[in-house]
Chains A and B, each alone.
Chain A
């Protein structure tokens, strides 16, 4: 069953036609990877799903149309978001960052502190003074505090040291057991480990949909579509 269905989604930013009618589905459970070269519209797709940029088309969350819905209402319907640049509130403490994200009556602090025990120790530390990896923990923890039908995660390993990349991949694997994840990720090792489906974008269009392992096993296709390998 599909939890998310995107049809004929367009986004214009200034004079540029960034998304040119993309269409794809996200299966319930597990991780669907949204792949493509830099600048093809992956981040814009996540921002469009969330209503952070003006868009046209159809976005269906478990049968419910979201294309005309305001961002805060989309989130309250169960769409979590971990942004590309973490976007933690630097002047707020770790605890305040998490408190701000509370939506559910019983936020899942047990889960969050189980995944990221360091955040409990640093609860009173301003988030702006954390390392990049720690800020990524806060960004993911904010999204995990509440139950989501789908979690949009944008390049969670970007700029992290190899050890932290492995830790983030571990967390994503665990999160995928709890909820559906739509993941934008450049690190194909992480994609190979956690994703079951892959959607590939190129210049604002979907050019491939299929099992992630099949795609990544075909070096010629990876080279042609993603420019690596």
Chain B
């Protein structure tokens, strides 16, 4: 029983991490039709901004260092994403092949740049000791950072839902996901919504970078690239452009991966996720939420 509880909560934590990356990816594709292969770079930039700021605040105790570093990671991730949209994506509006080439190149270049500056080794990060301890749930000793990940993902889901349902920009984005041209034909400059969605996606991915630093205890220049693959799987299973579908899909993928790794064979988790993707696309080609995959 305790093993099952541990696997479940860890799976939910992993799903939360996937959701943080995939939510922005899904919104960006839904609104703009951009398959953003540079999304992992937002995570990497956020993670390393956190580590860098933390490393410069050696005189402070761990908690303020962590909080300031995390805040810096989120800000840098959001600004970087907004700049990517303004400088690289906007001039390529409607040129989808070029967008793919640019975002793939940016993703590779960002990782290469981080490696060139700080090396290929993962860098240990400082975080409050409570996050590294465990709490007992039904006999299972669960690392506290899993709870933080789950709460963070729920807050992001709740915040994004409130934003999309309760604000004019949210309304524009929801409408734009359905029919971008018609939004423009109502007199709305949809490009502002593009930049905003990129910035939101960048902050969420940077949050995944910050919390990923805690989950894996290091900042790794290659983490953005490796997690991006699972984020794309989550987005396709959930249905492109659907936040709710992405959330459900992230939980399913995280749990399947954990259960398969433990109950089947270590290492089968990744394969089982790919199999799950194939099954979902066979049964529901438009993903769980019904959007075209």
Q: Which chain A residues have a beta carbon within 8 Å of chain B's beta carbons? A: 50, 52, 70-72, 75-76, 81, 83, 87, 89-92, 96, 99-101, 103, 142, 146
Q: Shortest Cβ distance from A121 into chain B, in angstroms?
A: 21
Residues of B within 8 A of A72 (CB): 184, 187-190
Q: Shortest Cβ distance from B27 into chain A, in angstroms?
A: 14
Task: Say yes or no for B113: interface residue by CB 8 A criterion.
Answer: no
Q: Shortest Cβ distance from A229 into chain B, in angstroms?
A: 33
Residues of B within 8 A of A83 (CB): 182, 185
Task: Say yes or no for B179: interface residue by CB 8 A criterion.
Answer: yes
Expressed in whole angstroms, the Cα–Cα distance for A103 and B185 within the complex equals 12
A87 & B187 in contact (Cβ 8 Å cutoff): no
In the complex with contacts A75-B186, A83-B185, A99-B178 CB distance below 8 A? no
Task: Say yes or no for B183: interface residue by CB 8 A criterion.
Answer: yes
A-contact 0/1 string along B172-199, CB 8 Å cutoff: 1011001101111111111000000000
In the complex with contacts A52-B185, A100-B172, A89-B190 CB distance below 8 A? no
A100 & B188 in contact (Cβ 8 Å cutoff): yes
Expressed in whole angstroms, the Cα–Cα distance for A142 and B183 within the complex equals 11
Residues of A within 8 A of B189 (CB): 70, 72
Q: What are 26 of the A-B contact pairs (CB < 8 Å)?
A: A52-B181, A70-B184, A70-B189, A71-B185, A72-B189, A75-B184, A75-B186, A81-B186, A83-B182, A87-B179, A89-B175, A90-B178, A92-B171, A92-B174, A92-B175, A96-B171, A96-B174, A96-B175, A99-B168, A100-B171, A100-B172, A100-B183, A101-B186, A101-B187, A103-B187, A142-B186
Interface centre among A52, A70, A72, A91 (most CB of B within 10 A): A72
Main secondary structure of the interface of B (DSSP, over half): helix
Interface centre among B187, B189, B190 (most CB of A within 10 A): B187
Q: Number of contacting residues on B, CB 8 A?
A: 17
CB-contact partner of B184 in A71, A92, A146, under 8 A: A71
Expressed in whole angstroms, the Cα–Cα distance for A89 and B190 within the complex equals 15
B185 & A100 in contact (Cβ 8 Å cutoff): no
A89 & B174 in contact (Cβ 8 Å cutoff): yes
B187 & A91 in contact (Cβ 8 Å cutoff): no
Expressed in whole angstroms, the Cα–Cα distance for A71 and B179 within the complex equals 14
Expressed in whole angstroms, the Cα–Cα distance for A186 and B180 within the complex equals 27
Interface centre among B168, B179, B182, B186 (most CB of A within 10 A): B186
A100 & B186 in contact (Cβ 8 Å cutoff): yes
Residues of B within 8 A of A87 (CB): 179, 182, 185
Residues of A within 8 A of B190 (CB): 72
Residues of A within 8 A of B179 (CB): 87, 89
Question: Which 5 interchain pairs have the tightest Cβ spacing?
Answer: A75-B187, A87-B182, A71-B184, A89-B175, A76-B187
Expressed in whole angstroms, the Cα–Cα distance for A12 and B177 within the complex equals 27
Residues of B within 8 A of A71 (CB): 181, 184-185
CB-contact partner of A75 in B168, B174, B185, under 8 A: B185
B184 & A100 in contact (Cβ 8 Å cutoff): no
